[in-house]
Amino acid sequence: MPTLTDWFPVALTGTVMDLSTMNPWCAKGVILLASLVMVVIRAPHGHRSRTVPVARSRKGSLELVLLTIAWAAFFLPLIWIAAPLFEFADYPLHPIPFLAGCLCLVLGLWLFHRSHADLGTNWSITLEVRDKHQLITHGVYRWVRHPMYAALLIYSAGQALVVPNWLVGPSYGVAIVLLIVLRLQPEERMMRDEFGKDYEAYTARTKRLIPGVW
């Protein structure tokens, strides 16, 4: 009498494996798209903010190092997509972390967009105060003081889940955590010096990154 393996040899030997793993090009396509979306979101805001003169700057050597690390980490997945340089650290791509990572990427990009839209020309890529700088407390800034950092953390978590590579996957998260740890307090000091009691009142009613937590 024929057994199940006689009727479905491929299903029992190959398809189960296929259902538990995915082609890594799925991850490459998603990361490429997410990177392009991030550039499309930021580019017009960067161009617009550069039209507003800088009134005060606290950009130092540490800031340049942090920005260089962040940019390098952003481009690392693109190198992973284009060349086999990091294939030694690849591992199988699984559907559940991939889908969870896609959700994180979408949420991170949405928050990234909202943060830029709410800040307008008050945004700068580094520690700068521009002419007629305003303290923004509406939109997503009503809930946390640094939603753009939160957006980048969520995005980097998505990258770590989507990219099946032990080196490239978490690279952006490491860079963003380093940026936040070393820049957050100087940035808040700059804002406190600029806006005084208004910023003190703002910090009293908001959290830094996570609403109601921290």
- Which pLDDT band, with edges at 50, 70 and 90, does 191 fall under? very high
Q: How far apart are the first and last CA of the chain?
A: 65
Phi/psi for 126 (5° steps) reads -130, -170
Looking at the domain assignment, is residue 173 inside a domain? yes
What confidence tens digit (pLDDT) does each residue in 134-188 have? 999 999 999 999 999 999 999 999 999 999 999 999 999 999 999 999 999 999 9
| Cα distance between residue 190 and residue 196, in whole Å | 10
In a domain, 8, yes or no: no
Is residue 87 one of the residues assigned to a domain?
A: yes
At residue 214, the pLDDT reads: 87
Is 15 among the domain residues?
Answer: no
Q: Which domain holds residue 116?
A: 34-205
Let me know: does 87 contact 16? Beta carbons within 8 Å: no
**Domain contains 6:** no
Residues 85-113: tens digit of each pLDDT: 999 999 999 999 999 999 999 999 999 99
pTM: 0.89
Flag whether 104 is in a domain: yes
Which has the closest alpha carbon to 158: 175, 146, 170, 140?
170
User: Within a domain: residue 213?
Assistant: no
- Number of domains comprising the chain: 1
The CATH number for 192's domain is 1.20.120.1630
In a domain, 16, yes or no: no
